[in-house]
Amino acid sequence: MRKRNVASITLAVWMLAVSGLMSMLHAPDLRLFIATALVGFFIVVYIFYPVFSKPGYIRNLHRMAAICTVLFGLVIVLRILELIRG
C-alpha cells in the first residue's frame, strides 16, 4: 500500500473516531469537530511527509495545509470571541 493511501485511510479513521467520540459525549459542535479534524490532518501530513523525494503532489499539499491553517485559526478566534462575550 502506498503512503498516500495509508494517509487518507488514517485521516478517515481519525475523523470517524472524533465524530463517534463527540456523539458519545453529546457535543454536537461543528467548530470543535473541524478543529479536531484539522489537528488530525496536520498530524497525518507531518507523519507521512516524504523526506528524501519531492513528488508533484507536495505543492498541492502545501496549499491545502495553508488553507487548513487559516480555517483552524478562524475556529480558534471564533471560540475565543465566544468565550469573551460570555
Instruction: Give residue 37's pLDDT band: very low, low, confident or very high (50, 70, 90).
Output: confident
**Helix 30-47, helix 58-85: angle, nearest 10:** 150
pTM, two decimal places:
0.55
- Beta-strand ranges (E) seen in 1-86 are none
Range of the domain at 69: 3-85
Q: What pLDDT does 1 receive?
A: 66
Share of the chain above pLDDT 70, in %: 91
Consecutive H or E run containing 67: helix 58-85
Q: Which 3 state secondary structure label does DSSP give 86?
A: coil
How many domains is the chain built from?
1
Q: What pLDDT does 32 receive?
A: 77
